[in-house]
Structure 1
């Protein structure tokens, strides 16, 4: 490494030792800014995290079934972004309760804890998923008027509860089938770009090969209402959104306005390939975070 050049770790998981291909799009922009970047696996015991001026969480998608171990590791890493306390808060979707209590429009959710009965809706379509999860893993779509699907939903919920996992039961918002899901991307506190994600849930939970289910992504021009909701969501982040290197706000458009589905602050796909200049803007945010006054 050349003297005076910053060293940054992009953190991935053992299943993706070379990182997600989309994340690799930032390597050259970072190099052009005098930043040497290494792709590092989060649970590699041989890594000296102190040698990096910034440790950037990216495709750490295997943490879902090892959250306690992951959070223990997060708490030991210096100069981590996003910060450890934000990651701890964000890796359990019960943060949606806080957003709802602040008056934000959030997908209505029934929360089931281990030991609870698997209470399911009496009408309409609904979704069952765990509160700690990524992508569409362990997530299924069901219909209350179909006894066979109700039985499958109950089995799904009971399996998660038996594994000591908190379960979320939500109405399926059918607008997503025609309008898709909006993702708003922010780097260094500033809006960067937006994409539209096609609906993914077609039926009951099923086994997914790998760490995630491929998504159908297209560029999107967000509405004023979507951007306003994104700003409100970021304003609710504990400790302030100014500490975030990146953020993704996922919304579902409805007839009454956008509804918050998730706030992704740990390992979201950032969709660099779908917006011109997005990788450059991310590299600028990393460079800014490396300035002495802004180091964690």
Structure 2
């Protein structure tokens, strides 16, 4: 009986920077799986020749969203894709924060401006700092925070995105993020490990697309409230089944209560290089999906 064939799906930038990628492939092969890392946009890949395609580091999806979502839909018709295409589509646009909020999950307060909407300085007239970001982005690209006296700059930023046909999120800057944003990793719906990340938007009025996306990582032991809210967010995903992997990013609001910043279900960095247990859990889950282990 031939070994199950597993495609570990990445990208050009993933091949270059994903330190977890070779670890995952090697660990899957040690489990007896025929694992291969492939770029999602590689030419002439016969996806129907794989028993399972696991998305890992397709880190260019946000700049090629329509193409990527079309690939996910097509590939899911030829093999099992994890996470599934409907989950990928939903998670690709941060409008999902509104969905989570409507389902009772605490999220950072979010207002959305759609292309064609007007915006003015009054939209950014807040007592504290405000964050402006595109609804579709990765790694805090095209994102900046603005102080109350920088409303004109915030308007220019939002109008630039709207003129590009991109929806815009306006959110309060949660000052307690400077104590660290929490990143909770889940495998098949079960908590695996967590890290705390340093703040990204350290300088008001600056949009820096070359910033390190996960600065000052340290291990984190999540509180019961953080675990509860992260689990509630995953339970609220409007897609059948449980995600193979997920990363839930949280911060504390002004009352020191955790709120969802982002729910990463496509290609999150899972920080497996520094978390052998997380790598083991992911590989065991993939093996189970491939039918080599009990669920």
Normalising by structure 2, we get a TM-score of 0.91
Relative distance call for 1:152 and 1:221 in structure 2 (3 A) is same
Equivalent residue for 1:41?
Answer: 39
Superposed CA deviations along residues 223-258 of structure 1, whole A, max 9, x for unmatched, are 111111111111101134x43110111111233421
Q: Does 1:138 align with 2:142?
A: yes
Could you say what secondary structure the match of 2:162 adopts?
helix
| Alpha-carbon distance in structure 2 between the residues aligned to 1:239 and 1:284 | 23
Could you say what secondary structure the match of 2:19 adopts?
coil
| Alpha-carbon distance in structure 1 between the residues aligned to 2:46 and 2:132 | 40
Equivalent residue for 1:252?
Answer: 251
Q: Is the contact between residue 284 and residue 293 of structure 2 (CA under 8 Å) also seen in structure 1? A: no
| Alpha-carbon distance in structure 2 between the residues aligned to 1:196 and 1:86 | 25
The alpha-carbon deviation at position 214 of structure 1 amounts to 4.7
| Alpha-carbon distance in structure 2 between the residues aligned to 1:268 and 1:170 | 22
Could you say what secondary structure the match of 2:107 adopts?
coil
Higher alpha-carbon deviation: 116-125 or 34-43? 116-125
Equivalent residue for 1:273?
Answer: 273
The alpha-carbon deviation at position 6 of structure 1 amounts to 1.3
| Alpha-carbon distance in structure 2 between the residues aligned to 1:281 and 1:38 | 19
Relative distance call for 1:136 and 1:151 in structure 2 (3 A) is same
Highest RCO, 1 vs 2 (Cα 8 Å, sep ≥ 6): 1
Superposed CA deviations along residues 93-119 of structure 1, whole A, max 9, x for unmatched, are 111111101111110011101111223
Which of 46, 51, 58 lines up with 2:49 in the alignment? Answer: 51
The alpha-carbon deviation at position 278 of structure 1 amounts to 1.3
After TM superposition, the structure 1 = structure 2 runs for residues 117-156 of structure 1, keeping only pairs within 5 Å, are: 117-118=118-119, 119-144=123-148, 146=149, 149-156=150-157
Q: Is the contact between residue 26 and residue 283 of structure 1 (CA under 8 Å) also seen in structure 2? A: yes
Q: Matched residue pairs, number?
A: 287
Q: Is the contact between residue 138 and residue 205 of structure 1 (CA under 8 Å) also seen in structure 2? A: no
| Alpha-carbon distance in structure 1 between the residues aligned to 2:252 and 2:26 | 35
The 4+ residue runs of structure 1 with deviation greater than 6 A are 292-295
Relative distance call for 1:23 and 1:41 in structure 2 (3 A) is same
The alpha-carbon deviation at position 293 of structure 1 amounts to 11
Relative distance call for 1:19 and 1:124 in structure 2 (3 A) is closer
Superposed CA deviations along residues 31-62 of structure 1, whole A, max 9, x for unmatched, are 12111211111111211111111111111111
| Alpha-carbon distance in structure 1 between the residues aligned to 2:294 and 2:85 | 16
| Alpha-carbon distance in structure 2 between the residues aligned to 1:34 and 1:104 | 40
Equivalent residue for 1:282?
Answer: 282
The alpha-carbon deviation at position 122 of structure 1 amounts to 3.4
Equivalent residue for 1:181?
Answer: 181
Normalising by structure 1, we get a TM-score of 0.91
After TM superposition, the structure 1 = structure 2 runs for residues 1-296 of structure 1, keeping only pairs within 5 Å, are: 3-17=1-15, 20-77=18-75, 78-118=79-119, 119-144=123-148, 146=149, 149-178=150-179, 180-202=180-202, 203-209=204-210, 213-240=213-240, 242-254=241-253, 255-291=255-291
Q: Is the contact between residue 147 and residue 205 of structure 2 (CA under 8 Å) also seen in structure 1? A: no
Superposed CA deviations along residues 126-158 of structure 1, whole A, max 9, x for unmatched, are 1000010111111101111x2xx3222211111
Q: Is the contact between residue 9 and residue 39 of structure 2 (CA under 8 Å) also seen in structure 1? A: yes
Higher alpha-carbon deviation: 254-263 or 133-142? 254-263
| Alpha-carbon distance in structure 1 between the residues aligned to 2:244 and 2:237 | 13
| Alpha-carbon distance in structure 2 between the residues aligned to 1:204 and 1:288 | 47
